Amino acid sequence: MRLKICVLAVVTSAGLLSGCDTPEGQGAGYGAAGGAIIGGLAGGNVRSAAAGAAAGAATGAIIGAIVHENERQRYDQDAPPGGYPYGRRTEYPGVVQSPYYPHNLIDVHGIPPGALVLDPSVNRPFVRP
């Protein structure tokens, strides 16, 4: 019975945290799931699983923040003089036109404005308007 409760706690916490799109949120979700499993197996009760989930979420969020900072620094270091070109808006929501020839339409759903987008046809980045 205790194992079923621990598994339910893991699945619930993973489901609640799976919608996080940032590296910090993803790290917290994976850390919480892993910590709950380890805590539940080590302690054999829900309290141990909850403590493991909390510790795992904190550790995962810290690791995610480090990953996020490294990605940001990589984008800043590789930027050409004058910055990246901007894509062009289209009449279709969530779709922009690439600034690079042949000016393909790129699906940018879920990508925030100002973020870098990669044009897969020329393998070059541009800024989402």
pLDDT at 17 over 60: no
Give the pLDDT confidence of 1-12 residue by residue, as tens digits: 566 665 565 656
Report the b/e string of 45-83 with b at 16+ CB within 10 A. Answer: ebebbbbbbbbbbebbbebbeeebeeeeeeeeeeeeeee
The structure's pTM equals 0.44
Specify the higher pLDDT residue, 128 or 58.
128
To the nearest whole number, what is the mean pLDDT of the chain? 77
Q: What's the pLDDT band for 96 if we cut at 50, 70, 90?
A: very high
Q: What's the pLDDT band for 24 if we cut at 50, 70, 90?
A: low
Note the pLDDT of residue 101.
92
φ and ψ at residue 105, rounded to 5 degrees:
-85, 135
Note the pLDDT of residue 25.
72
Note the pLDDT of residue 59.
77
Note the pLDDT of residue 86.
94
Percentage of the chain exceeding pLDDT 90: 22
